[in-house]
A and B are shown apart, each in its own frame.
Chain A
């Protein structure tokens, strides 16, 4: 079993198609929608956590790609700008998944991008705008 968090970009022509539903029916994948919206240009964006057998996951991804969905791993989308971060720690208690946590030895704030669900709470709350979204 593997669990992966990915970002799906749907072109306008696919926005009204039941694509994600097929991941369950045809590929036996479990999914958890972490975020979904349609932009004013009518492109869709969805952040999904997919869980299933490696083989099924690969098939599912292939299916999504062949349908015209662009896929990115989630960890590429929320980035910490290391030169801007002052390691104050004001983001730590508001992060719902503990993706931002203080190292108790160095007192620096670590960003665990694999735990990040791209909720974007930290983006506006960061006093030095060190957290960046790259969807």
Chain B
């Protein structure tokens, strides 16, 4: 048994033992669970993939004379931002698109530029054009603003993502006879391919399936900088069906995360275009898991062949919200490049970059080893299986 305080003492003294969620697998197999749990202090996880409920808020500083962008309209490189705050606070969502984007009018739309790309370009140090219009007040008389902004000049630039780090995800196939363009990529007709989106054995919440160490206030690697778990993510759903090892079959828990955008790097936050679907942001996240006891070591030793995901049809079942899966498959099978579905061999594709996830886990490991990153005790737990917290569908009601 260890405590986070004891692990932090070891980090400060340079004595901490850190391994990635990939390395702990071999270690437990070679040395046994007991020994591995004693030796290892921290396991680092990682994930890198498109995460649509992401975005950033900015305070851009007051112009002279002053303008109240709050309640007005504002665009960054033609991408509209949310202005329903005080005068100079704005929120840019990852999936926002310019008003003149052709969308899916020429199908499938290319969606070449949007909110996610603006975030990437800010991190690259590029100038971004800000255009705002307001209605004018006695205290904020100005009605128009047209200027360049850059990340270093902003007062605050904070990445605040409402839902990241899904604990497992669907495997998408297409049972119809026409090609589909989805957020899970291009799906060829008649089950031509199966696309998945999880780092599997490296993924943060798959290594802590019951949220025993990851909670509100957990310090994390976020986009190349330091961030924190702010809350459970939207659509957090701890009560999905799980295997004996605790790993959910379906998308389960999620995280809302926050961190200083100015510390982050464009290689870990990438504007992303999904053909026929829209734009988003690919986010890199790494979460350290303190190995407090053998049970946690056991969870961290989970491997791809023990993590199963449901295969879902994206031509009917997903868009129509119909229950039912086409079966289940594990990540070892998915990562082999081929799976078997109803007697047919299908090629697999991934949206989540395993090689980037591994880089993140390694990077976080090196931060901890160097003493640059201390672990934090969560201030409150995430809603767990016993909480009764769940993800409900919308009940549409008749308008009278």
Question: What residues of chain A have their CB less than 8 Å away from a CB belonging to chain B?
Answer: 86-94, 101-102, 104, 106-108, 124-125, 127-129
B348 touches A93 (CB 8 A): yes
In the complex, number of A-B residue pairs with CB atoms less than 8 Å apart: 79
Question: In the complex, which range does the number of interface residues on chain B fall in?
Answer: 35 or more
Decide if B274 touches A127 in the complex (CB within 8 Å): yes
- Shortest CB-to-CB span from A2 to chain B, Å, is 30
Contact check, B350 vs A129: say whether CB atoms are below 8 A apart: no
Shortest Cβ distance from A83 into B: residue: B267
Q: Are A92 and B282 in contact, with the CB atoms below 8 A?
A: no
Looking at chain A's contact residues, is the secondary structure mostly helix, strand, loop, or mixed?
Answer: loop
Judge whether B137 is part of the interface by a CB distance below 8 angstroms. no
Contact at A128–B350, with CB atoms within 8 Å? no
Interface 1/0s, chain B 68-107, versus A by CB < 8 A? 0000000000000000000000000000000000000000
Among A86, A92, A107, A125, contact of B347 (Cβ-Cβ < 8 Å): A92
- Cα distance A101–B193 in the bound complex, in angstroms: 14
Least CB distance from B188 to A in Å reads 7
CB distance from B337 to the nearest CB of A (A): 6
* B129 at interface, CB cutoff 8 A: no
B-to-A contact residues, CB < 8 Å: 48-50, 108, 110, 112, 185-186, 188, 192-195, 270-275, 282, 335-337, 346-356, 358
Contacts of B270 in A (CB 8 A): 86, 128
User: A90 to chain B: closest CB distance in Å?
Assistant: 4
Complex interface: chain A residues within 8 A of B195 (CB): 90, 93
A87 to B: closest C-beta gap in Å: 5
Among A91, A94, A106, the residue within 8 A (CB) of B355 is A106
A89 touches B353 (CB 8 A): yes
Given contacts A127-B50, A127-B282, contact A88 B353 (CB under 8 A): yes
> B355 to A128, Cβ gap below 8 A?
no
Contact: B347 with A93, CB < 8 Å? yes
Complex Cα gap A118–B385 (Å): 50
